[in-house]
A and B are shown apart, each in its own frame.
Chain A
Amino acid sequence: MKESLGSRLFNTCNYGVLGIIGAITLFPLYYVFVVSFTDPHEFADKNGFILFPVHWSTSAYDYLFSTSAFLKATGVSTFLATVGTALSLMVTSAIAFGLSRKRLRGRRFILIGIVLTLLFNPGFIPPYLVVRELGLINSVWSLIVPVLTSGWYVILMKSFFDNIPVELEEAAMIDGSTDLGTFFRIVLPLSAPALAAFGLFYAVAYWNTFFTAVLYINDFAKVPLQIVLRNMLVDSSTSTGGATAVEMVSDQQIPTQTIKMAAVVISTLPILCVYPFLQKHFTKGVMLGSVKG
């Protein structure tokens, strides 16, 4: 079929405008990436305006990778993002599934309890006491257990499960499936979009773990990546806080900006890599509950 001139013109304009908007949105990402590989002195000389560096340099990355803490912390963060996300999804979906079944007694009561956690924030001292009494201080699990599930996600997921017909479950039961069997073999496979969406939410949250680690972790070998990156950034810019002598031994003084950008790249790259694969589920997932039937 041949396109009319008007249609073609419209398409060209359309693509052109969208392309420009796309480029504008991509530019910050590109800038961050390029600056992180720019020679620090060049960056300083050009007052920070760089489209394409003359001298490529990995000095910012060398600096970030220079401590042994970096690799360990990446390990911790990866552990949090994988194991934590898996456990969180399990707990969240289990609670949500239970709550979505009308035959559960005391459903209302539990739901109100969950909503209350959304309304009232106790601050960080009560959680600290709980974590301490559980004996989790200085354990990686202190970063997972207190945030194992989020009331908000439970409610969202519950409304997703609400849309799975009860008849399906009944059919499974007639075929001899147990409750657990139904949950794992029928409900979860049907919920891939929700799992993907919430999995991403959880993974991002775990990957970004910072504050709880400041509170609960004493041993520096167990801190997540964000803390190490933060320390390195501050280390490279310490000045008025009473910096002196031995703090600056390396004769290569790297302006902080390129290091910052490198840190941004390192800390967002994993999420950026996962995102495209989850995206198709994602659009479906966040819509859940929006259509009432």
Chain B
Amino acid sequence: MKHRKITIALLMTLVLGTLLSACGGSGGGNGDGNAASGGTDGGSKQEAPTTIKIMSDFTIAQPPSADNPVLKEFEKRTNTKLDITWVSAANSSDYLDRLNVVLSSGDLPDLLKLDDVTNPLFQQMVKQGAFWDLSPFLSSYPNLMEYPKSVWDNTKIDGKNYVIPVARPLNGFVFVNVRKDWLDKLGLPVPKTIDDFYNMLKAFKEKKPDGKTPTYGYTMRGSDVLDGVFTGSNGRWKDVGGKLIDANFDPGMRESILFKHKLYAEGLVPPDYAVMKDSQYWDMATSGSAGSTAETIEAQWRWTYDQWKRDPKVDWLPLSSLSYNGVPYVPQYRGYIGVLAIPKKVPEEKVKKILSLLDFGASEEGGTLALYGIKGVHYNEENGIKVTTEKAVQDSVGVGAFGKIFMHYDPYMYAFAPGMTKEVFERNKQVIDERAKVAKPDVAIGLVSQTDIKMGADYTKKMNDMKTQVIMGKAKIEDWDKLIQSIQNDPTYQQITKEINEAYQARLAQNK
């Protein structure tokens, strides 16, 4: 009796096991037998296409499928076979988790998309020699070399290019936008200084140009950009005489908090701004309840376009800059949305093949293909402006998918969006030109402090919480001073500052 029972139990496990593994077997595994070796022998025209495995993120509803026409076009033009694993980055931490799994399991594709060079696991693997140093190859890829030098410099590790950035324009990113039609209605000039800005908000609140209650001046979306206006620093670190200090310790930050407290106390910003979601900011801005918000130039246009259906007079103007104490400020974007790395296990011939694929993607032709698709199918040209078709959405053309890997550097990319009139496009280009003159780069892009990775988030959170409390009047500005004082004296924080500065000095020395 007993024996029989055990046998049955064993049998059941076996049957179940084989059943499951049999089902699983069909799914994975294929695609390894590639034609990569075909590259070296002779210059025969009938070279077999190189299979390139890529892992990349995507941020649209549906990634391109394997038989996507744009993908096919890429393969045809570069003689490759692209095997792309698209991982949803709907929530950026999802992609990070997947990335960490891939990095630590050693299951690397031929080309790997990373969020940033500062990824700790990646840094460690680079030091172990798991990735190609691409610096010796790069000069032979002219389209890639068109990316701004700062972008290349900021993605170096120990002075070497282990990664190829996926470029984005430096200007046109999130900054304050205002309702130009409201300004005109009230006879106000476009604000240039932070005081003008304040007066404008006050006028918007008091005179209610849209007749709405409640009307606020500013949605407070991306209110950090105001901090930058006061501190003159883009991001957390500020270069003072060749040394980096935390911008929170800058006297300008204190001014900024007090300024925002004033806005809050006078009801110029929504009282629950601290807990509002992006969609709420947008709803507020697009329903005429607020006269200024923060947005990329391109995205702001989309909201405008939507508002036009109800009120064609709406006109959102992206500001070129705001100045404080006579110094104009507008932040500069870091210029890339991610980086691509090639693992060392890929043979050198194939590395060159991959680079030429990316170089094609960075050419005007390849960039257009990635962002707009095929002419006549995915877009049509109408007096110099590309008008996309429904097919473009179906085939996942655009920055949300192909644009995550391939990008032709175009400084005006953020100036344009579908449906835009020529006037708006030209004006946006002007704004971008203006911004380019004064834009502040983030000096600490790509710099790593190990201590900061481990302990830094705590400090940032403490300071942000305190800022919010002071702005909302729940704490005094003296409390902020005290907090700053204690963090400045904190040995761990001093260590973070020291490490960041070391990394900064090393970069300055290399880029001389």
Contact = CB atoms under 8 A, between A and B. Distances in A.
Interface of A: 41, 43-45, 47-48, 67-69, 91, 94, 98, 124-125, 128-129, 132, 134-142, 145, 178-180, 211, 214-215, 218, 220-221, 223, 227-228, 230-235, 237-251, 253, 255-257
Interface size class of chain B, counting residues whose CB lies under 8 Å from the partner chain: 35 or more
Contacts of B302: 248, 253
Interface of B: 4-5, 8-9, 12, 16, 20-21, 23-29, 59-63, 65, 85-88, 90-91, 94, 97-98, 100-101, 104-105, 107, 168, 173-174, 222, 278-280, 282-283, 286-287, 289, 295-296, 298-299, 302-303, 305-306, 310, 337, 371-373, 378-379, 386, 388-390, 392-393, 397-400, 403, 413-414, 416-419
B278 A237 contact: yes
B61 A214 contact: no
A203 B62 CA distance: 26
Contacts of B85: 218
B90 A244 contact: no
Contacts of A211: 94, 97
A249 B90 contact: no
Given A124-B101, A244-B416, A180 B28 contact: no
Contacts of B373: 246
Given A243-B296, A244-B399, A67 B61 contact: yes
Contact of A136 (B24, B59, B282, B298): B24
B30 to A, nearest CB: 10
Contacts, number: 194
Nearest to A253: B306
A138 B87 contact: no
Majority DSSP secondary structure for residues of A touching B: helix
Given A234-B90, A234-B91, A125 B61 contact: no
A136 B62 contact: no
A244 B305 CA distance: 14
A255 B90 contact: no
A45 B94 CA distance: 34
B337 A139 contact: no
B101 A249 contact: no
Contacts of A223: 88
A255 B279 contact: yes
Contacts of A235: 59-61, 90, 400
Contacts of B280: 48
A138 B28 contact: yes
Contact of B398 (A180, A214, A246): A246
A255 B88 CA distance: 22
A138 B337 CA distance: 27
B5 A245 contact: no
Contacts of A145: 20, 24
B105 A239 contact: no
A243 B62 contact: no
19 contacts: A43-B283, A69-B61, A125-B100, A134-B21, A135-B24, A135-B29, A139-B23, A139-B26, A141-B27, A211-B97, A214-B97, A239-B299, A240-B295, A242-B403, A243-B400, A244-B399, A246-B373, A246-B397, A246-B398
A249 B299 contact: no
B24 A134 contact: yes
A91 B295 CA distance: 52
